[in-house]
Amino acid sequence: KQEVTQIPAALSVPEGENLVLNCSFTDSAIYNLQWFRQDPGKGLTSLLLIQSSQREQTSGRLNASLDKSSGRSTLYIAASQPGDSATYLCAVQSSSWGKLQFGAGTQVVVTP
Amino acid sequence: GAGVSQSPSNKVTEKGKDVELRCDPISGHTALYWYRQRLGQGLEFLIYFQGNSAPDKSGLPSDRFSAERTGESVSTLTIQRTQQEDSAVYLCASSLGQSDTGELFFGEGSRLTVL
């Protein structure tokens, strides 16, 4: 059974610092890994999707890496801003169809 | 539509009543998911539909929960004889389906409060 863990559970940084969020999974046979953002009382917004054959994906200030063999993904957010404050979730999909297994999320606060 | 639409956005009901939650996926998306998120907790998988295939119901917590989807359109999640522990945000997501990247798009959720 796939288990997804996110560390730390919460993170507070001053504006301008880089953020590093970690995600680990127990079964390396994955189809893809996705990072989402969730604002309070809202649904999830897809940030980055990494296919199993890829090592990283980048979008603006966001960069996500994937190391399947070690069961890890890292989301980097450069030069954090207060608007980056949210909960970040990673999710793993084991095949081209089927459910995503989510981690519990990392709650991020960026202070001005 | 432009995104995944869910209704109602908020529902307050009394213990023992039945509720129906609706999800309208992105047009053309063959895959549809329901997740539950209790206060302060992670996402809990409930059910998955892929085209005309038999749905994956492995996440439904009890026989009080059921879901239907007509073709590749609207889905309805029904909770019978609601209990207080059913209080949560119910999230729906859709994706293009098989042979796709698998990227999921979520709705804003339906917040259910059982008194």
Is B109's CB within 8 Å of A42's CB? yes
Predicted local distance difference test score (pLDDT) of residue A66: 97
Mutate to test the interface with B, among A44, A49, A88 (most CBs of B within 10 A): A44
Is A46's CB within 8 Å of B100's CB? no
Contacts of B16 (CB under 8 A, 6+ apart): B81, B82
- pLDDT band for position B76 (50/70/90)? very high
**B102 lies within 8 A of chain A by CB:** yes
Condensed to tens digits (0 to 9), the pLDDT of residues A32-79 reads: 999 999 998 888 999 999 999 999 999 999 999 999 999 999 999 999
Percent of chain B with pLDDT over 70: 96
Give the C-alpha separation, A112 to A8, whole Å: 21
Backbone angles phi, psi at B86, to 5 degrees: -80, -10
- Provide the chain B residues 15-44 that lie in CB contact (below 8 A) with chain A: 31, 33, 35, 41-43
Give the C-alpha separation, A43 to B89, whole Å: 9
**B100 lies within 8 A of chain A by CB:** yes
**DSSP 3-state assignment of B109?**
coil
Is A105's CB within 8 Å of B42's CB? yes
> Chain B contacts of A102, Cβ < 8 Å?
35, 42-43
> Chain B contacts of A89, Cβ < 8 Å?
42-43
Mean of all residue pLDDT scores within chain B: 92
> Chain A contacts of B42, Cβ < 8 Å?
89, 102-105
Query: Which residue in chain B has the smallest CA separation from A107?
Result: B40
**In this structure, what token pair is assigned to residue A53?**
């054959």
Q: Which of A29-33, A56-60, B21-25, B38-42 has the lowest mean pLDDT?
A: B38-42
Condensed to tens digits (0 to 9), the pLDDT of residues B92-105 reads: 999 887 656 678 89
Condensed to tens digits (0 to 9), the pLDDT of residues A70-109 reads: 999 999 999 999 999 999 999 999 877 778 899 999 999 9
> Chain B contacts of A46, Cβ < 8 Å?
103-106
Q: How far is A6 from chain B (nearest CA, A)?
A: 11
Decide: A2 and A100 in contact? Cβ < 8 Å.
Answer: no
Residue A26 has pLDDT above 70, yes or no: yes
